[in-house]
Amino acid sequence: MPIEETIGIWVGAFLTLCIFSFLYKDNPFYKLAEHIFVGISAGYWATLEWHNVFLPNLWKPLTQEGRLLLLVPFAFGILLFGRFTKKYSWLSRWSMALIIGIYAGITIVGYGSGDLILQIHANLLPLWTDDWFTSLNNILLTVGVITGLIYFFFSKEHKGLFGAGAKVGIWFLMISFGASFGYTVMSRMSLLIGRIYFLLGNWLHLLE
Protein backbone atom coordinates (compact mmCIF):
# COMPACT_ATOMS: atom_id res chain seq x y z
CA MET A 1 0.00 0.00 0.00
CA PRO A 2 1.42 3.44 -0.88
CA ILE A 3 2.58 5.56 2.05
CA GLU A 4 0.16 8.35 1.10
CA GLU A 5 -2.82 5.99 1.34
CA THR A 6 -1.59 4.61 4.66
CA ILE A 7 -1.25 8.12 6.11
CA GLY A 8 -4.70 9.02 4.83
CA ILE A 9 -6.25 5.95 6.48
CA TRP A 10 -4.59 6.71 9.82
CA VAL A 11 -5.65 10.36 9.69
CA GLY A 12 -9.21 9.34 8.80
CA ALA A 13 -9.27 6.80 11.64
CA PHE A 14 -7.93 9.35 14.11
CA LEU A 15 -10.52 11.96 13.16
CA THR A 16 -13.29 9.35 13.24
CA LEU A 17 -12.33 8.33 16.76
CA CYS A 18 -12.17 11.99 17.73
CA ILE A 19 -15.77 12.44 16.61
CA PHE A 20 -16.85 9.24 18.40
CA SER A 21 -15.24 10.53 21.60
CA PHE A 22 -18.15 12.96 21.94
CA LEU A 23 -20.26 9.95 22.99
CA TYR A 24 -18.35 10.08 26.28
CA LYS A 25 -18.35 13.86 26.72
CA ASP A 26 -17.26 17.05 25.04
CA ASN A 27 -13.47 17.06 24.85
CA PRO A 28 -10.56 18.74 23.00
CA PHE A 29 -10.23 15.87 20.51
CA TYR A 30 -13.82 16.28 19.37
CA LYS A 31 -13.39 20.04 19.10
CA LEU A 32 -10.23 19.53 17.03
CA ALA A 33 -12.03 17.30 14.54
CA GLU A 34 -15.01 19.65 14.50
CA HIS A 35 -12.84 22.70 13.76
CA ILE A 36 -10.95 20.83 11.04
CA PHE A 37 -14.22 19.78 9.40
CA VAL A 38 -15.68 23.29 9.52
CA GLY A 39 -12.43 24.84 8.29
CA ILE A 40 -12.04 22.46 5.35
CA SER A 41 -15.72 22.88 4.43
CA ALA A 42 -15.43 26.66 4.50
CA GLY A 43 -12.23 26.60 2.45
CA TYR A 44 -13.71 24.21 -0.10
CA TRP A 45 -16.87 26.32 -0.38
CA ALA A 46 -14.86 29.53 -0.84
CA THR A 47 -12.68 27.93 -3.52
CA LEU A 48 -15.72 26.53 -5.29
CA GLU A 49 -17.43 29.92 -5.29
CA TRP A 50 -14.27 31.62 -6.57
CA HIS A 51 -13.75 29.29 -9.54
CA ASN A 52 -17.38 28.48 -10.40
CA VAL A 53 -19.15 31.77 -9.62
CA PHE A 54 -16.89 34.79 -9.31
CA LEU A 55 -14.43 34.16 -12.14
CA PRO A 56 -16.80 32.89 -14.90
CA ASN A 57 -19.81 35.06 -14.03
CA LEU A 58 -18.19 38.35 -13.03
CA TRP A 59 -14.45 38.76 -13.38
CA LYS A 60 -13.84 37.25 -16.81
CA PRO A 61 -16.87 38.90 -18.49
CA LEU A 62 -15.89 42.21 -16.89
CA THR A 63 -12.18 42.19 -17.75
CA GLN A 64 -12.11 40.17 -20.98
CA GLU A 65 -15.44 41.04 -22.58
CA GLY A 66 -15.76 44.59 -21.27
CA ARG A 67 -19.25 44.18 -19.85
CA LEU A 68 -19.12 47.28 -17.66
CA LEU A 69 -22.66 46.78 -16.39
CA LEU A 70 -21.24 44.06 -14.14
CA LEU A 71 -19.55 46.80 -12.11
CA VAL A 72 -22.89 47.25 -10.33
CA PRO A 73 -23.03 43.75 -8.76
CA PHE A 74 -19.27 43.97 -8.20
CA ALA A 75 -19.77 47.14 -6.17
CA PHE A 76 -22.58 45.57 -4.17
CA GLY A 77 -20.34 42.59 -3.46
CA ILE A 78 -17.59 44.87 -2.14
CA LEU A 79 -20.11 46.62 0.12
CA LEU A 80 -20.72 43.31 1.89
CA PHE A 81 -17.22 43.50 3.35
CA GLY A 82 -18.32 46.59 5.26
CA ARG A 83 -19.62 44.17 7.90
CA PHE A 84 -16.06 43.78 9.14
CA THR A 85 -15.89 47.40 10.36
CA LYS A 86 -18.20 49.23 12.74
CA LYS A 87 -17.90 52.52 10.86
CA TYR A 88 -18.97 51.18 7.47
CA SER A 89 -21.08 48.18 8.46
CA TRP A 90 -24.24 50.03 7.42
CA LEU A 91 -23.11 49.88 3.79
CA SER A 92 -23.59 46.11 3.73
CA ARG A 93 -27.30 46.57 4.39
CA TRP A 94 -27.81 47.69 0.81
CA SER A 95 -26.32 44.47 -0.51
CA MET A 96 -28.11 42.32 2.05
CA ALA A 97 -31.46 43.93 1.23
CA LEU A 98 -30.89 43.35 -2.49
CA ILE A 99 -29.87 39.71 -1.95
CA ILE A 100 -32.79 38.92 0.36
CA GLY A 101 -35.30 40.67 -1.89
CA ILE A 102 -34.18 38.92 -5.06
CA TYR A 103 -33.85 35.57 -3.32
CA ALA A 104 -37.32 35.88 -1.79
CA GLY A 105 -38.87 36.73 -5.16
CA ILE A 106 -37.15 33.89 -6.97
CA THR A 107 -37.91 31.43 -4.15
CA ILE A 108 -41.61 32.27 -4.05
CA VAL A 109 -41.95 31.72 -7.79
CA GLY A 110 -39.83 28.58 -7.63
CA TYR A 111 -41.74 27.03 -4.75
CA GLY A 112 -45.05 28.02 -6.31
CA SER A 113 -44.31 26.34 -9.63
CA GLY A 114 -42.07 23.55 -8.36
CA ASP A 115 -43.83 22.52 -5.15
CA LEU A 116 -47.29 23.99 -4.69
CA ILE A 117 -48.68 23.44 -8.19
CA LEU A 118 -47.05 20.01 -8.52
CA GLN A 119 -48.39 18.93 -5.11
CA ILE A 120 -51.90 20.10 -5.99
CA HIS A 121 -51.67 18.23 -9.30
CA ALA A 122 -50.33 15.11 -7.56
CA ASN A 123 -53.33 15.07 -5.20
CA LEU A 124 -55.93 15.26 -7.97
CA LEU A 125 -56.24 11.49 -8.20
CA PRO A 126 -59.22 9.24 -9.03
CA LEU A 127 -60.64 7.62 -5.90
CA TRP A 128 -61.85 4.53 -7.76
CA THR A 129 -59.60 2.62 -10.15
CA ASP A 130 -59.33 -0.90 -11.50
CA ASP A 131 -56.78 -1.78 -8.82
CA TRP A 132 -58.19 -1.85 -5.28
CA PHE A 133 -54.77 -1.15 -3.73
CA THR A 134 -54.34 1.97 -5.85
CA SER A 135 -57.87 3.09 -4.95
CA LEU A 136 -57.16 2.61 -1.23
CA ASN A 137 -53.90 4.51 -1.54
CA ASN A 138 -55.59 7.41 -3.34
CA ILE A 139 -58.39 7.55 -0.77
CA LEU A 140 -55.91 7.61 2.13
CA LEU A 141 -53.91 10.32 0.41
CA THR A 142 -57.01 12.44 -0.21
CA VAL A 143 -58.27 12.00 3.36
CA GLY A 144 -54.84 12.82 4.75
CA VAL A 145 -54.55 16.00 2.70
CA ILE A 146 -58.05 17.23 3.60
CA THR A 147 -57.81 16.44 7.32
CA GLY A 148 -54.30 17.88 7.49
CA LEU A 149 -55.55 21.14 6.00
CA ILE A 150 -58.46 21.11 8.47
CA TYR A 151 -56.02 20.84 11.38
CA PHE A 152 -54.18 23.97 10.22
CA PHE A 153 -57.45 25.90 9.73
CA PHE A 154 -57.26 28.00 12.92
CA SER A 155 -60.01 30.53 12.20
CA LYS A 156 -62.67 27.96 13.19
CA GLU A 157 -62.80 26.17 16.53
CA HIS A 158 -62.03 22.47 16.34
CA LYS A 159 -65.33 21.07 17.58
CA GLY A 160 -67.80 18.50 16.34
CA LEU A 161 -67.25 17.03 12.90
CA PHE A 162 -64.65 19.68 12.14
CA GLY A 163 -62.73 18.76 15.30
CA ALA A 164 -62.90 15.06 14.44
CA GLY A 165 -61.39 15.82 11.05
CA ALA A 166 -58.62 17.80 12.75
CA LYS A 167 -57.83 14.86 15.03
CA VAL A 168 -57.59 12.54 12.04
CA GLY A 169 -55.27 15.10 10.46
CA ILE A 170 -53.04 14.95 13.54
CA TRP A 171 -52.71 11.19 13.11
CA PHE A 172 -51.68 11.61 9.48
CA LEU A 173 -49.19 14.33 10.44
CA MET A 174 -47.65 12.23 13.22
CA ILE A 175 -47.31 9.23 10.92
CA SER A 176 -45.61 11.34 8.25
CA PHE A 177 -43.29 12.96 10.81
CA GLY A 178 -42.45 9.56 12.25
CA ALA A 179 -41.68 8.14 8.81
CA SER A 180 -39.46 11.14 8.03
CA PHE A 181 -37.65 10.78 11.35
CA GLY A 182 -37.20 7.05 10.82
CA TYR A 183 -35.76 7.66 7.37
CA THR A 184 -33.35 10.21 8.85
CA VAL A 185 -32.25 7.80 11.56
CA MET A 186 -31.79 5.05 8.97
CA SER A 187 -29.59 7.29 6.84
CA ARG A 188 -27.50 8.22 9.88
CA MET A 189 -27.17 4.57 10.80
CA SER A 190 -25.86 3.82 7.32
CA LEU A 191 -23.21 6.51 7.84
CA LEU A 192 -22.29 4.99 11.21
CA ILE A 193 -22.00 1.52 9.69
CA GLY A 194 -19.77 2.96 6.98
CA ARG A 195 -17.39 4.51 9.52
CA ILE A 196 -17.28 1.33 11.63
CA TYR A 197 -16.57 -0.71 8.52
CA PHE A 198 -13.77 1.75 7.69
CA LEU A 199 -12.23 1.37 11.15
CA LEU A 200 -12.49 -2.42 11.27
CA GLY A 201 -11.67 -3.04 7.62
CA ASN A 202 -9.43 -0.36 6.14
CA TRP A 203 -7.69 0.57 9.37
CA LEU A 204 -7.47 -2.56 11.57
CA HIS A 205 -7.90 -5.10 8.73
CA LEU A 206 -10.24 -7.23 10.86
CA LEU A 207 -12.71 -7.57 8.00
CA GLU A 208 -11.92 -9.18 4.70
User: pLDDT tens digit string along 142-182?
Assistant: 999 999 999 999 888 889 999 999 999 999 999 999 999 99
- What pLDDT sits at residue 12? 95
Q: What is the pLDDT of residue 173?
A: 96
Whether the pLDDT of residue 45 is over 90: the answer is yes
Residue 91 pLDDT greater than 80, yes or no: yes
What is the rounded average pLDDT for all residues in the chain?
93
Q: Check residue 121 and give its pLDDT.
A: 85
Mean pLDDT calculated for residue range 42-60: 95
For residue 10, the model assigns a pLDDT of: 96
pLDDT of residue 146: 93
Q: Domain map of the chain by residue range? A: 1-66, 70-124, 127-208
* Res 115 pLDDT > 90: no
DSSP string covering 147-166, please? HHHHHT-TTS---HHHHHHH
Segment 43-52 mean pLDDT: 96
Contact 129, 135 (CB under 8 A): yes
Those residues whose C-beta lies under 8 Å from the C-beta of residue 27, and which sit 6 or more positions away, are 21
DSSP H/E element including 47:
helix 28-49
pLDDT score of 71: 95
Q: What does the pLDDT average to over 23-45?
A: 96
Q: Is the pLDDT of residue 117 over 90?
A: no
Stated pTM of the model: 0.72
Which amino acid is residue 169, in one-letter code?
G
Q: How confident is the model at residue 102 (pLDDT cuts 50, 70, 90)?
A: very high
Using CB atoms within 10 Å of the CB of residue 150, give its burial: 0 to 12 exposed, 13 to 18 middle, 19+ buried: buried
In the predicted model, what is the mean pLDDT of residues 38-50? 96
Q: Residue 90: its pLDDT value, please?
A: 94
